[in-house]
Amino acid sequence: MKITILTLFPQMFSALDESIIGRAQKAGKVEIEVVNIRDFATGKHLQCDDEIYGGGAGMLMKPEPIVKAVESVKTPQSLVLFTSPKGKKLCQSVVEDLAKQEHIIIICGHYEGIDQRVIDLCVDAEISIGDYVLTGGELPAMVIADAVARYVPGVITAESLQEESFSGDSLEYPQYTRPRVFRGLEVPEVLLSGNHAAIKKWREENSKKI
């Protein structure tokens, strides 16, 4: 799978070179490409934003650089996303659907957003990670990339995917590791029993409680 992120702030995405997603990239299971929208701007100052028609606070990202950036990376297999509070709420079923795509392009807005004509011309779907406002689309793009990349075969084990939160209709049960006692709190005895049926029952019951 390939994920292309279009942004004015490519340096923010160094976090995706770390941990599980970083290892997945090094192993060739996932390709994450970060493209600087400003590289497609024109003029002396490479301006990517301008005043809003009709008035209003802040600046709006211009359509030309974004559309050119999309066109430079888009293929017939690409799905173009825009991170937006107006979009469909990101949930596990949406993540699983996105993970089936060959190529995802994520447009990161900034300032007061992007010119509507970019959405009309290029965007296949708008995605929201929650009902709150951020300074830009970079953090949502990282969330989407991380969540989707985990579902690419071989990035993490199939067993981990099956047992984690949101894999069904429940949330994950409490989990413990060494030491057996920490600051007076003990690991539940059933988890030390070796009785797999009892452990499974305990986990199911606690998952339902949560």
Residue 169, pLDDT score = 66
Per-residue pLDDT tens over the stretch 129-174:
999 989 999 999 999 999 999 999 899 887 676 666 555 667 889 9
Q: Is residue 164 part of a domain?
A: no
Q: Is residue 163 part of a domain?
A: no
User: Can you give 29-58 as a three-state secondary structure string?
Assistant: CCEEEEEEHHHHCCCCCCCCEECCCCCCCC
Q: Are 81 and 95 in contact (CB under 8 A)?
A: no
Looking at every residue in the chain, the average pLDDT score rounds to 93
Share of the chain above pLDDT 70, in %: 95
- How many domains does the chain fold into? 2
Give the β-pairing of 31-36 and 2-7: parallel
Least confident of 56-60, 73-77, 85-89: 56-60
Share of the chain above pLDDT 90, in %: 85
CATH number at residue 107: 3.40.1280.10
Task: Mark whether 16 and 107 lie in a shared domain.
Answer: yes
From the DSSP assignment, how many helices (H) and strands (E) are in the chain?
7, 9
Task: Mark whether 189 and 135 lie in a shared domain.
Answer: no
Q: Is residue 165 part of a domain?
A: no
Phi, psi of 181 (to 5 degrees): -125, 130
Task: Mark whether 112 and 198 lie in a shared domain.
Answer: no
Task: Mark whether 151 and 182 lie in a shared domain.
Answer: no
Task: Mark whether 127 and 33 lie in a shared domain.
Answer: yes
Domain span at residue 132?
A: 2-158
Residue 182, pLDDT score = 95
pTM of the predicted protein model: 0.87
Task: Mark whether 188 and 154 lie in a shared domain.
Answer: no
How far are the Cα atoms of 142, 188, 190 from residue 196, in angstroms, in the given order? 37, 14, 9
Task: Mark whether 148 and 176 lie in a shared domain.
Answer: no
Task: Mark whether 185 and 152 lie in a shared domain.
Answer: no
Q: If we measure between CA atoms, which residue out of 102, 63, 52 comes closest to residue 79?
A: 102
Task: Mark whether 32 and 73 lie in a shared domain.
Answer: yes
Per-residue pLDDT tens over the stretch 57-75:
899 999 999 999 999 999 9
Task: Mark whether 99 and 181 lie in a shared domain.
Answer: no
Q: Mark residue 55 as left, alpha or beta (left: phi above 0; alpha: psi -120 to 50; beta: remaining).
A: left
